[in-house]
Amino acid sequence: MDILTKLSRRTPDDPSSINDGSTQKWDVPLVAAMFALLALGVVMVYSASAVIASQRMTGHQALLTGQVENILVGTLALLVAVQIDYRWYRRLVYPILGVTVLFLVLVTVPGLGVMQHGAKRWLDLQLFGFQPAEVAKLTAVIFLAYSISKKGKRMGSFTIGFIPHLLIIGGMVGLLMMQPDFGTSVMLVALMMILLFVSGAKLSYLFLVSAAGSVVAYFAISGSEYRMQRILAFLDPWSHRQDIGYQISESLIAIGSAGLSGVGLGEGAGKLGYVPELWNDFIGTIIAEELGIAGVVVVVALFGVLLWRGYRIAFRADDSFGMYLAFGITSLFALQAMSNLFVVTGMLPTKGLTLPFVSFGGTSILVGMFAVGILVNISRNEPDWWELRREKREAEKKRRRWQKKKKKILRRRDDLQPPD
């Protein structure tokens, strides 16, 4: 039995035993924590961007307006996801995977892929643009949840439990590295390893893949000048403060000046141009600078609630696919939030990953809120109407077959009876 099944209230013989009557209800703490993070993000995005936006954009409210619009679209995505039975993702996993791979390929096509900061990570579809890498994270979780739940006890096999996942996730990572997007690539590999671990895969296989991945990561870093610069900035930002270590060193200075309560909302100096992209990957910096340690604790607490409810939903899911899907989505939030906060505090090299629900970004907000909608749908423990209809059709077919057989038996009996 895998680790998640042992920790959950599900029993192998009675998967519905954990349904606690929560059908048709929303997980209020989960949604409340998400909207609290979104509200905090709106405030901090405006505080971080107002000065730069007034100088370089259409006005000081440019990014504020954009973030509010992102949240409104994300709210629609949330409501849609809540209404879609999560089991449909299992049935449509390969079309979803195919479309995602297509987007990852298109982003490398000249004229479609948008170059920013030396990387092609945005897809320009004229009417709107989005970042396929954000979609790839959720797609990877859906595929892994489907594949692991389908294989069950066979996850202990290397050829069945490891090879298919390595090929699919490895292919997605290869496309991401063409952009290049090293941070998301690491995220997908980490998600795969976590889900394989909790599914009962052998530790020896995990160590083998980890060792191979470390070798690949070494050559990927050593073979790229800008990645080596990020490592040097991580190891000694102060020696490179005027060049490659500028962003992280200024972030550490801003955080160090905050204290317990911070310098005050709107009073931070980092947004005056000292910390680039403060409203995006380094939004944790301005939260720490203006709201202090107390503000960071609030952010961590809100993510704590989000993760608590997400893992709770996973342990209470009615089926193994829902369990792995909820666990994977929640782990995605955990990994990305942890990575972002570790980067702004100098505990990890710069990766270019946003802080979920807080950083500015349309695709990340949209995908994140849609993922929360999936969690809410799983938590409602609704019956699988598709499966019930299938069982009803099968029962009706059996009944008809029995009726035909019964009529045939009765006719044969009448034929065998002697005439009067």
Instruction: Express each pLDDT in 76-127 by its tens digit.
Output: 999 999 999 999 999 999 999 999 999 999 888 877 777 776 677 778 776 6
Contacts with 327 (C-beta within 8 Å, 6 or more apart), sequence order: 4, 145, 195, 198, 310, 311, 314
Determine the residue type at 54.
S
**Alpha-carbon 195 to chain mean position:** 13
Q: How far is the CA of 338 from the CAs of 232, 332, 351, in angstroms?
A: 21, 10, 12
pLDDT of residue 20: 45
Token couple for 239 = 């020696």
pLDDT of residue 21: 42
Contacts with 373 (C-beta within 8 Å, 6 or more apart), sequence order: 77, 78, 79, 80, 81, 82, 84
pLDDT of residue 122: 79
- Whole-number Å distance between alpha carbons of 313 and 341: 25
Q: Please list the ranges in the chain whose pLDDT falls under 70.
A: 1-3, 5-24, 117-118, 126-128, 226, 273, 382-389, 410, 413-420
3-state helix/strand/coil string of the chain: CCHHHHHCCCECCEHHHHCCCCCCCCCHHHHHHHHHHHHHHHHHHHHHHHHHHHHHCCCCCHHHHHHHHHHHHHHHHHHHHHHCCCHHHHHCHHHHHHHHHHHHHHCCCECCEEEECCEEEEEECCCCEECHHHHHHHHHHHHHHHHHHHHHHHHHCHHHHCHHHHHHHHHHHHHHHCCCCHHHHHHHHHHHHHHHHHCCCCHHHHHHHHHHHHHHHHHHHHCCHHHHHHHHHHHCHHHHCCCCCHHHHHHHHHHHCCCCCCCCCCCCCHHHCCCCCCCCCCHHHHHHHHHHHHHHHHHHHHHHHHHHHHHHHHHCCCCHHHHHHHHHHHHHHHHHHHHHHHHHCCCCCCCCCCCCCCCCCHHHHHHHHHHHHHHHHHHCCCCCHHHHHHHHHHHHHHHHHHHHHHHHHHHHHHHHCCCC
pLDDT of residue 93: 95
Smallest CA-to-CA distance from 388 within 87, 8, 21 is with: 87
- Whole-number Å distance between alpha carbons of 64 and 287: 16
pLDDT of residue 19: 46
pLDDT of residue 23: 46
User: Which residue is it, tokens 């077919």?
Assistant: 397
Break the chain into its structural domains and give their ranges. Answer: 3-13+25-382, 391-420
In DSSP terms, which residues pair with 130 in a beta bridge?
123
pLDDT of residue 18: 43
pLDDT of residue 134: 92
Structural Rg of the chain based on CA atoms? 26
Token couple for 30 = 């989960």
Long-range contacts: 38-41, Cβ < 8 Å, 24+?
38/71, 38/74, 38/357, 38/358, 38/365, 40/287, 40/298, 40/299, 40/302, 40/358, 41/67, 41/283, 41/355, 41/357, 41/358, 41/359, 41/360
Long-range contacts: 125-131, Cβ < 8 Å, 24+?
130/362, 130/363, 130/366, 131/361, 131/363, 131/364
b/e sequence 346-356, b meaning 16+ C-beta within 10 Å? bebbbbbbbbb
pLDDT digits (tens, 9 = 90+) for 130-154: 889 999 999 999 999 999 998 878 7
Q: Phi/psi of residue 353, each to 5°?
A: -105, 135
pLDDT of residue 16: 43
Token couple for 11 = 């029993």
pLDDT of residue 257: 77
Q: How far is the CA of 361 from the CAs of 85, 194, 281, 312, 334, in angstroms?
A: 27, 26, 10, 28, 18
